Amino acid sequence: MNKANQVLLKEESRIGADLAAWLSVGGGEGLAAALREPGAVIAQIEQADLRGMGGAGFPTHRKWAPVAAAPDGDKYVICNGNEDEPGTFKDRFLLEHTPHQVIEGALIAAVATRANHVVLYVNPHESRALAVVREAVDQWRQHEHISAIEAWLGVPLSMSVVPSSGLYIGGEETAVIATVEGGFPFPRRKPPFPAQSGVHGVPTIVNNTETLAHLPGILREGASWYRGLGLGAASGTKLYSLSGDVLRPGLYELPMGTSLQELVFEHGAGMLQGKEFKAVFTGGPSNTLLTRSDLDVPLDFDSVRQRQSRLGTGAMIVVSEGTSIVRKVAEYVNFFAQGSCGQCPPCKGGTFQLARVLNRIDTGRGVRADLVALANLCQLLPGSGRCGLIDGAATVVQSSLHHFSHEYKALLMG
């Protein structure tokens, strides 16, 4: 991609906490545009077809509309920067290198929905990102745009930085809300959705860091500019976290809809040691795997969904022929078992049971009945928790059984 078209990873935006530097490259103009016509922001986000980059790809304008429509009073915008899933490393980069872009995005959300609380929720394991964001928020507090926002709201705007628990579950949106309220990161069932009842029961938006980082550009340059950055029907750009068995892993900002083939073989420079591509854990380790026949898939929300998978966060963990799928899946399911908050017995027990059986098979102690047990658990477990953790764990196991049953069978004792 032409660097001029990059929205999030522009060289000049790697300015850390220096607000003046951000403003000197067009920062603040998106927010100023939002303040000129606050009532038009949500329609613009809809025209830009901005989707949530935190996993579900949910249309951002649909999340915001009910909060904007709610009567004036306390409302929250939370930037979700927890990012603890294996293979995803985009939000910490944004928070550390271009925090003002993210904060400006959160302020635009506050203007559009008349929210008077903005919270930057940051993983404390990313200590540099946390320090940079704290400094960046302090700089914004002094800026004239904040007075303009307060004039529009008619009340003071509070801006705070809340360290997350650093746990994987702490990124789930209702756990985010519980943490911001000062509690443990325990998800709760939805509905009510955060837009109806979030922090302390008031309308709340929880958006992923990358989602918010796209906003200043959309407001500054316009929705059709943003749409034009994507390929085919897809809109905008996407940060892809590329890792695994590729020669050049890293964070790539590319047009939304770039093919998996291009990402792996051009940007990632192909497979390590010239090995064959086997599969990719798409959107992180909690989705359906894509395999060699999917290399042509455009990496956008709708196209990946048509292959029965999900773009998720845009994490792409590439696996070569030399790597055991069973071992990878066992590692990830162990992660989910450790990460379950324990409130829902089917999730806590189910993830541990999946992990136990996978570990047994991976270490050559599995029997045929273990495959049946795995398949049964994958049928039983989805939908049994308050949040999506157990669904993700079951999905990746089921998908690996579907595509790579021969690998499982080859590891059985008899």
Ligand X SMILES: Cc1cc2nc3c(=O)[nH]c(=O)nc-3n(C[C@H](O)[C@H](O)[C@H](O)COP(=O)(O)O)c2cc1C
- Identify the residue among 166, 222, 388, 407 touching ligand X (CB under 6 A): 388
Cβ nearer to ligand X, comparing 55 with 255: 55
Interface characters, 161-200, with ligand X (x: CB under 6 A):
-------xx-xxx---------------------------
Interface characters, 336-375, with ligand X (x: CB under 6 A):
----------------------------------------
Cβ nearer to ligand X, comparing 390 with 411: 390
| Nearest C-alpha neighbor of 157 from the set 167, 165, 166, 145 | 145
* Nearest distance in Å: CB 210, ligand X: 7
Residues 131-150 that bind ligand X (CB under 6 A): none
* Nearest distance in Å: CB 120, ligand X: 12
Token digits of residue 91: 């939000």
Cα–Cα distance, 9 to 11 (Å, whole number): 6
Cβ nearer to ligand X, comparing 168 with 404: 168
Cβ nearer to ligand X, comparing 53 with 279: 53
- Identify the residue among 27, 28, 52, 217 touching ligand X (CB under 6 A): 52
Estimate to the nearest angstrom the gap between the alpha carbon of 286 and the chain centroid.
12
Residues 54-93 that bind ligand X (CB under 6 A): 54-56, 58, 63, 80, 82-84
Residue 362 in contact with residue 324, Cβ under 8 Å? yes
The secondary element (H helix, E strand) that includes residue 69 is: helix 60-69
Interface with ligand X by CB under 6 A: which range of 153-161, 213-221, 263-271, 381-389? 381-389
* Nearest distance in Å: CB 341, ligand X: 9
- Concatenated DSSP letters of 223-275: HHHHHHHSSTT--SEEEEEEEESBSS-EEEEEETT-BHHHIIIIIS-SBGGGP
Give the end-to-end CA distance of the chain in Å, rounded to a whole number.
51
Which residues in 167-185 are b (16+ Cβ under 10 Å) and which e?
A: bbbbbbbbbbbbbbeeeeb
Q: What is the size of the binding site for ligand X (CB under 6 A)? A: 23
Residue 287 interacts with ligand X (CB under 6 A)? no
Interface with ligand X by CB under 6 A: which range of 48-56, 66-74, 221-229, 290-298? 48-56
Residue 238 in contact with residue 253, Cβ under 8 Å? yes
Interface with ligand X by CB under 6 A: which range of 39-47, 106-114, 207-215, 226-234? 207-215
Beta bridge partners of 22: none
Question: Which residues have a Cβ under 8 Å from the Cβ of 37 and sit 6 or more positions away?
Answer: none
Cα–Cα distance, 251 to 154 (Å, whole number): 41
DSSP state of 27: T
* Nearest distance in Å: CB 308, ligand X: 19
Residue 208 interacts with ligand X (CB under 6 A)? yes
* Nearest distance in Å: CB 369, ligand X: 30
Cβ nearer to ligand X, comparing 110 with 206: 206
Asked whether the CA dihedral 347, 350, 356, 359 is positive or negative, the reply is negative
Burial of 287 (0-12, 13-18, 19+ CB in 10 A): buried
- Identify the residue among 9, 297, 387, 396 touching ligand X (CB under 6 A): 387
Interface with ligand X by CB under 6 A: which range of 37-45, 154-162, 362-370, 382-390? 382-390
From residue 246, give the alpha-carbon distance in Å to each of 241, 267, 272. 12, 10, 5
* Nearest distance in Å: CB 18, ligand X: 25
The secondary element (H helix, E strand) that includes residue 119 is: strand 117-122
Residue 106 interacts with ligand X (CB under 6 A)? no
Which stretches of the chain bind ligand X, using CB under 6 A? 52-56, 58, 63, 80, 82-84, 168-169, 171-173, 206-208, 211, 387-389
